[in-house]
Every structure is written in C-alpha cells, then in structure tokens.
Amino acid sequence: MARLQFGLIVKIKNKMIKKHIPNFITCLNLFAGSMAVYYAFQANYPAVLLLVIVAAVFDFFDGFAARLLKAYSPMGKEMDSLADVISFGLAPGAVAFSMLQESGLPLWLSFAGFLIPVFSALRLAKFNIDERQTSSFIGMPTPANAIFWVGLGYSFSELLIVNNWLILIFIVVLSGLLVAEIPMFSLKFKSYGWKANQLQYIFLLVCIGLLAVFQLDAFAPIISWYISLSLIVAIFKK
C-alpha cells in the first residue's frame, strides 16, 4: 500500500513537472530577449544578435516541448506571445532606435523605431485568433522580422547610420508586412518528401549558400530571401 501511494505521488509530481517545462522554456526566451533589449540600447549589436537567436531557439523548443509532453495550456499560449513581444518586438525596436540615435536624428524621430514592437504586438494578437495560420502565416512572422533587424544591426549598422532614411523606410515597410494580408510559408514539415516541401527545401538550400558565403552577415539577406520568395509564391498563386 505504501509503495502504491509513493508511486502515485511520484506520478503526480512528474505530471506537474512536465506541465511546467514548456513555460520554463518560454521564460528563458523572455530572459534572453530582455537581455537583448539592454544590449540594444548600448548599441552592442553582436550581443543582440546572439541573444535574439538564443531567444528564437527557446521559442522553437517551448512549442516542441508542449507537443512532445502534451502540456498545452492557455497560460502557455499567453506567455509565449508576451515573451515574443519582448524578444521579437521590443529588442529589434531598440536596435532601430539605437541606430537612429547614432545617426544623429532628433530623439522624437528616433522613437519611430518603437513602431516595431507596436506592430509586432498587433501581429501576435492577430495570429492568436486567426485560424488560417495553422500551417503557414498571414503576414511576416515576428521572429523573422527580429532576425532581419538584429542582422542589420550586426552587419550593416555603419552603412545605415550614414543613410538613416533607409532605417525609416525599413521600419515602415517591415511594420506593414507584419500585419499585411500576405501569405508567407512556414518551415513546418508534415513529411520529408520533395514534392510536398519543394518551397521549404529551395529556401533552405539558398540559405545554406548564403551562410557559406556571408557567414554571420547572412541573417538580413536570408530574411530578405524569405520575404521575396513568399511574395513571389503569393503573386503566382493568384
């Protein structure tokens, strides 16, 4: 009887631990994103790049863990969105703000960088209630937008600081893409066959080439390639 009770207690504890593992990973995403915000305000773009990539890895694995452990919860869904607003909204917004400040623009105009977290929040709220986005996206996903911005900060900040009008154009265009009614593909694989995943494989093959050539400078070009390919597919599907 005592052994049975002990086994029951262990089973309950394991179930409770499993329930909280995805949320713990989401908290790691949020922690990495918060540090990225700090370093963005210090204009330490290499640190921001590293931390946003770390946050993106945690963002992938929290969902993976939830599916693997069957630990879905309304709280987990809300936590995921809140973490993403910081890691993939505020962090890239802080990068844009810092570059605009470094370029010598007045403070009030540099605040344009914070349109990025505003539109990222709108994108995430829209995603949470949009049942069309189960296997693909409508509008640019926030992690892709974040990686584009931190890639710009890491590789092209010196160029953009002397051409600050480009930063403002990127803010307007990418903020629009976040909430645009434009279908964009995801990297979810239901199978690994070529026929069902041609688009994803073509994208990944080009990404490998870009990484081989540009290495750490490839992040912004990779997201540009993602946007371009999504737009091409959307145009030809009409």
Q: 3-state DSSP call for residue 138?
A: strand
Q: Please report the pLDDT score of residue 185 as a whole number.
A: 86
Rounded CA separation 3/192 (Å):
46
Query: CB neighbours of 22 closer than 8 A, spacing ≥ 6?
Result: 62, 63, 65, 66, 69, 71, 76
- Hey, where are the domains in the chain? 2-237
**Exposed / middle / buried, residue 69 (Cβ in 10 Å: 0-12, 13-18, 19+):** middle
Q: Please, which residues bridge with residue 184 across strands?
A: 137
**Exposed / middle / buried, residue 14 (Cβ in 10 Å: 0-12, 13-18, 19+):** exposed
Q: Please, which residues bridge with residue 137 across strands?
A: 184
Strand locations in the chain (E): 137-138, 183-184
Rounded CA separation 219/223 (Å):
6
Inform me whether the pLDDT recorded for 52 exceeds 80: yes
**Contact (CB, 8 A) for 49 and 154:** yes
Q: 3-state DSSP call for residue 184?
A: strand
Q: Please report the pLDDT score of residue 186 as a whole number.
A: 84
Sign of CA dihedral 79, 54, 205, 92: positive
DSSP state of 70: T
DSSP 33-51: HHHHHHHHHTT-HHHHHHH
Q: What is the pLDDT of residues 176-225, one digit of tens each?
A: 999 998 889 887 766 667 777 788 899 999 999 999 999 999 999 999 99
**Contact (CB, 8 A) for 221 and 210:** yes
**Exposed / middle / buried, residue 113 (Cβ in 10 Å: 0-12, 13-18, 19+):** buried
**Contact (CB, 8 A) for 96 and 149:** yes
| H/E segment holding residue 94 | helix 91-102
Q: What is the pLDDT of residues 119-146, one digit of tens each?
A: 999 999 888 887 776 667 888 999 999 9
Q: What is the pLDDT of residues 66-122, one digit of tens each?
A: 666 666 677 767 788 889 999 999 999 999 999 999 999 999 999 999 999 999 999
Q: pTM of this prediction? A: 0.87
Q: 3-state DSSP call for residue 137?
A: strand
Q: Please report the pLDDT score of residue 8 as a whole number.
A: 45
Q: Indicate the CATH number for domain 2-237.
A: 1.20.120
